[in-house]
Amino acid sequence: MAGHSADEPLISLTDVSVITDGRKILGPISWRIEPRHHWVVLGPNGSGKSTLMAVASLGRHPSTGRVDVLGHELGRVDLRTLRARIGVSSAALADQLRGRLTAAEVVMCGRHAALEPWWHTYDRADAERASALLAQVGLPDHDDRTLGTLSSGERQRTLLARTLMAEPDVVLLDEPTAGLDLGGREALVTALDAVAAAGGPATVFVTHHVEDIPPATTHLLALAGGRALAAGPVDDVLSAELLGEMFGLDIELGRRHGRWSARAR
């Protein structure tokens, strides 16, 4: 398979819609994820965020429109090859992993997008890379801790490290802060900033809280009712007026030390 050209978007959606039981739940939407971009997809519950991620991660075909991933059109390429180049983390993935797996095993399995270490053979270099990735996301000395003994925040950072194991071109994180307490959220945001600072892959971070937006974020896509309200550089797009339209409230938006906050007036 030919490699991805540096001047092409990593993921491109053109007039994509998803229709379920005769009801349009997403779209039409057009969206491009470029190399070195770090996106946040922001929207209320039911806005279509998870459906969008399912399409972008090649887990779901759109009802209409075109999806191009890493220079290849969905429907005209072997998805197994492309999926290996997209790092995906979601609650569904976490539920599939055994609690007795160690953090290092969970991360190493990410090399082949596997759920069990015995499905493939790993060497010392794999173990060392897994350990280094755990340290990068703030979990040094956690290699031998089992997944079941980790806090929710530690599990999410372990899954982030797992997505990086195969050196993907883009990482998609579907609501990784859901259910985390303040400490867990802040640790994950710090880890995402560390990945960006280290020259890591393009990222897409899905949330419904502006407080979750990492300082390294470059772009924002705002969703409501299955449609895109705005998309572009986060500093240009995010506003109190946009949030008011998204959530149906009179919003006061603030920013301090690179972090956003919002509350109803």
- Taking the complete model, does pTM exceed 0.85, yes or no? yes
Residue 7, pLDDT score: 66
Q: At residue 74, what are phi and psi to the nearest 5 degrees?
A: -60, 130
8, 92, 114, 208, 246 from 176: Cα distances, Å? 28, 11, 20, 11, 21
Spacing of C-alpha 199 from chain mean position: 16
Mind listing the pLDDT tens digit for each residue in 178-198?
A: 888 899 899 989 988 988 888
What average pLDDT does range 227-252 have in this prediction?
A: 95
- Residue count of the chain, please give it: 265
Mind listing the pLDDT tens digit for each residue in 72-130?
A: 887 776 667 777 788 888 777 778 899 999 999 999 998 888 889 888 899 999 999 99
What average pLDDT does range 148-156 have in this prediction?
A: 91
**Contact predicate 56/204, CB 8 Å:** yes
Mean of the per-residue pLDDT values of the chain: 90
Share of the chain above pLDDT 90, in %: 64
